[in-house]
Structure 1
């Protein structure tokens, strides 16, 4: 395999660049908590003022499908799981709860039903006697007819959700509940799950633009002559008169009248005494406005510090506003993948949700594309192959993951078959993998997979080739999404990845070579989303932290905390931490015990360099292995500088925090300059968010695309044309046979 392309910058220039720096000392008594609620688990993390994760905990949450397509969850269980995780983080990190200044939440875009009369959960069916099951999960597909009825209106609000409302959004679910919930929805108010969590934490009815605009049909004021956000005519047309009552009270009201709507990280309020006690925090902890989970992935990645000339050039020209993030595509990968990009002006993209205004920052627009299955696709391709059991046995015996083992097989096949490269090895495998329909840019749920090039080979080698085909499909479809965005006005400069797929070096290399864009892997691969939610808490608490630093802790906050600590010691509430479960029943916490102080706060003379992934790569080596972080120690000459790779873990627990305040005080280290008490011109909400993101996100790892004339790039470009043809022809074939069948049915009726 030919060697990978080199960095654009020399080692000497990188050494003097802004990306080589001493990690600043953390403010020893300032921390933030992030909470992430995914489809299958709740997570929490604690970060310091440099964005270093000091504790990370996870707990599974259940979902029920008592009837096909009816998938529910419990907000009570989710809140209890959040509290468990936050308390675990506090215990594991050694952080004093009174030093946690802010908390942020993200969650899936699921519908939560709550009684208006008592603020308690309301059953959403199919078992309406079980009020604990009060969440209709995003993936619930019960509201087929309701979705069709809503889309048949052609209302102008639909053009801001990709032209039609998805069955996974919330108005179809509300419409279904109106006609199936015993007694109707007269006593029910509705939240998107992130907004419910901030409500549960603060008691506030404030809603986020992220949830309302992206999933509920809210059109911000001034957009298309919107004066209330909600369209009374549209909601009445779809038979939802109830949620129009009292100026749309059930959905959060009208902005600046009876409702409050916030951008990411805006202050919602402080924790209530009850929620503070349940979380193990204090009532001085400030809650930032939440976001949908994929958007927290955007927050947690796109400000990563990387050595890419174009980004450096754009950063130098920027005015420090959040507009600097325009053109940075976040790919938040898991079972599926969401692609999120920001623009200053609205860009309408066929098959892509949005553009959504104000969801991240006032005056900016976001587009959301996506692939229906990526992680799920790779798992499916492996599981259905006859050699899957053999692969599982071989990979386990080799102490490798299945994907790493398949990557090794592909490397060996290149040698054994004397092929030019791994890409050439699969040149006659044409894999189109929309097994679960297409989200973007075709936006056709009827799309299915088609594979050309299969044989009767049932060996592990054949499985490796099909696995490569699935990886190539993911990368080619990403190129298709990027091109759709670009044609409509986006200027995409790079892709910021997150999620476990980042560990698959083959997939990351294919993404770079197919799209022709640098791919950046974040410092925290698996924790990028929960890290992003912690940044929301940091944004919300910024002024409180500045006051605390300016008064050296002698603030109203301090006196309140002293009082609360006394109350806690007397009554066992507030910051009391729940004891961990028995090791036989406790969920496994994922916080690392690696000593982060050695990696993140090095001794004098050490520094960090964010270099492209392929710098110094050996031939036939780094195609498959893409670590996330490379700390470098300077030596006396460039030739002697080490290229040893190290992977940065989630962060330390008590080993970092124990005694940290005392050590920093002895060293006389000053607070971070960004926490200086000097008053500056007040930035807008988006710029405050961007400042925190830039300060705390830390370094990323870069995979540069190969040269456009590289044989693999040329081959992948040729196969991209075939990919597009497979996509187009499937639709044509389906239309052809549907037309014939329609005529056949007409003939039978006659």
Structure 2
């Protein structure tokens, strides 16, 4: 969510380095290198003192093992790391990209050891074992980015299914056996989850976060003495699909994909005196579903098959939200028996690292089981097709104004 590096991201993108082909041809401001470039330029003394640059996963692994390692998953998906050479891009860290923006010195601060998901990162050292009350020498396995661990925890390890990881933001993830390129995509990321396959990623910056924002704004407008998310569902469910013409853009934190616009703003339009709290809530749910459909349309245009959606995360606690997502996409949405797929995916990585299973796909077959399935309601198709067209057209019309608003 930290967009301070927007200008630095633009400069990285403007290098047109060949490695950018593997991240949709641009560098998102949310990713590490824009933040590092911002840090170097705005906090030079801190930059010079820093000996190691790592994410929290690598820091925790270091505390457990005493060695600096990083997940191949994160390196490939967020740090432009390449595990094989192609298209004039060598293996390893993106040195030519960093040279172009005077950030080459970052490479010396990055871990040298790269470990795939489910790979062994080391063994539990004595000091950490004492702190945790465990025995030294326990195998420490590498997991990955939370959303990617959720993908594993729902056993989305082969093409054909979309992983929908809900929360404050939403990530959409799919697997492909070949590299697929599109400027609206994050990726393709080689070996990021499954060795020999490519991970395709898209996302929405603010989904559950927008719902929470609206509930905070509404305050006491909802029933008291009841979980406010339950009350929100009840208010939204009382409104017909389409929210009586109320349209919202869910760009409270900019737009990730397929429109990559950090300047995009949250928008509410079409309000009349006939609209109430329920309309606002339903329109937010529908906006997040329209954003998901836009990503599905992108994948379809890339000939990436999506026959089913598997969902996990906080958003799945709302049955209404899941139904709206299914209706707008006109695809079934399945849940797994273990709702916290991110934790399960991490446990599966540990199991593979401990040699309980030969690979993540085998672990998924044994440990992941499908639960409820939400089928789309075909009677809502017409109204949601119209709402989706309005959603897309609203961004097209307002995009120039977003630039002017953010200039102040």
2:324 to 510, 527, 539: 510
Quote the residue 1:377 is aligned against: 210
Counterpart contact for 2:150–2:165, Cα < 8 Å: yes
Counterpart contact for 1:195–1:290, Cα < 8 Å: no
Quote the residue 1:331 is aligned against: 164
**What SS is found at the alignment partner of 1:290?**
coil
Quote the residue 1:275 is aligned against: 128
2:396 to 725, 728, 745: 728
Matched residues in 2 for 1:168 and 1:376: separation?
16
Matched residues in 1 for 2:137 and 2:371: separation?
33
Q: Against the structure 1 CA distance between its residues 232 and 451, is the aligned structure 2 distance closer, same or farther, given a 3 Å change threshold?
A: closer
CA shift for structure 1 position 296:
1.0
The answer on 1:200 being equivalent to 2:14 is no
1:160 to 22, 28, 34: 22
Matched residues in 2 for 1:233 and 1:697: separation?
41
The answer on 1:704 being equivalent to 2:375 is yes
Q: Give CA deviations for 1:508-543 in whole Å, capped at 9, x if unaligned.
A: 001111111111122233x2212211111011002x
2:90 to 227, 247, 260: 227
CA shift for structure 1 position 186:
6.8
2:345 to 521, 532, 548: 532
Q: Give CA deviations for 1:287-331 in whole Å, capped at 9, x if unaligned.
A: 11220111111111235xxxxxxxxxxxxxxxxxx4xx2122111
Q: Give CA deviations for 1:406-450 in whole Å, capped at 9, x if unaligned.
A: 433455x57xxxxxxx326x2322222323211111111121233
Q: Give CA deviations for 1:632-671 in whole Å, capped at 9, x if unaligned.
A: xxxxxxxxxxxxxxxxxxxxxxxxxxxxxxxxxxxxxxxx
Quote the residue 1:363 is aligned against: 196
Q: Against the structure 1 CA distance between its residues 408 and 167, is the aligned structure 2 distance closer, same or farther, given a 3 Å change threshold?
A: closer
RMSD: 2.5
Matched residues in 1 for 2:196 and 2:51: separation?
32
Q: Which is helix-richer, 1 or 2?
A: 2
2:110 to 251, 256, 261: 251
| TM-score, normalising length: structure 2 | 0.91
Q: Against the structure 1 CA distance between its residues 190 and 433, is the aligned structure 2 distance closer, same or farther, given a 3 Å change threshold?
A: closer
Matched residues in 2 for 1:435 and 1:176: separation?
23
Q: Give CA deviations for 1:539-567 in whole Å, capped at 9, x if unaligned.
A: 1002xx5xxxxxxxxxxxxxxxxxxxxxx
Q: Against the structure 1 CA distance between its residues 242 and 434, is the aligned structure 2 distance closer, same or farther, given a 3 Å change threshold?
A: closer
Quote the residue 1:110 is aligned against: none
**What SS is found at the alignment partner of 1:340?**
strand
Matched residues in 1 for 2:330 and 2:155: separation?
18
Q: Count matched residues.
A: 405
2:35 to 142, 163, 173: 173
Quote the residue 1:185 is aligned against: 48
2:229 to 403, 408, 428: 403
1:477 to 280, 284, 291: 291
Query: Which sections of structure 1, spanning at least 5 residues, go unmatched?
Result: 1-138, 254-259, 304-321, 415-421, 546-673, 675-682, 742-750
Counterpart contact for 1:302–1:496, Cα < 8 Å: no
Matched residues in 2 for 1:190 and 1:508: separation?
39
The answer on 1:294 being equivalent to 2:107 is no
CA shift for structure 1 position 249:
4.3
The answer on 1:495 being equivalent to 2:309 is yes
CA shift for structure 1 position 369:
0.9
Matched residues in 1 for 2:366 and 2:17: separation?
42
Counterpart contact for 1:519–1:704, Cα < 8 Å: yes
Matched residues in 2 for 1:700 and 1:350: separation?
35
| TM-score, normalising length: structure 1 | 0.51
Q: Give CA deviations for 1:226-279 in whole Å, capped at 9, x if unaligned.
A: 433124333222212324xxxx443233xxxxxx32221011121111222222
CA shift for structure 1 position 487:
0.8
Counterpart contact for 2:172–2:203, Cα < 8 Å: yes
The answer on 1:147 being equivalent to 2:9 is yes
The answer on 1:451 being equivalent to 2:268 is yes
Moved over 6 A (4+): none
Quote the residue 1:624 is aligned against: none
Quote the residue 2:251 is aligned against: 434
Q: Against the structure 1 CA distance between its residues 455 and 288, is the aligned structure 2 distance closer, same or farther, given a 3 Å change threshold?
A: same
Structure index of larger Rg: 1
Matched residues in 2 for 1:376 and 1:409: separation?
18
Counterpart contact for 1:296–1:530, Cα < 8 Å: yes
CA shift for structure 1 position 692:
0.5
Q: Against the structure 1 CA distance between its residues 226 and 450, is the aligned structure 2 distance closer, same or farther, given a 3 Å change threshold?
A: closer
Matched residues in 2 for 1:142 and 1:450: separation?
22
CA shift for structure 1 position 167:
2.1
Counterpart contact for 2:235–2:281, Cα < 8 Å: no
1:423 to 230, 241, 245: 241
Further displaced range: 360-369 or 282-291: 282-291
CA shift for structure 1 position 703:
0.4
**Higher RCO, Cα 8 Å, sep 6+:** 1
Matched residues in 1 for 2:137 and 2:48: separation?
36
Further displaced range: 503-512 or 140-149: 140-149
Matched residues in 1 for 2:216 and 2:30: separation?
27
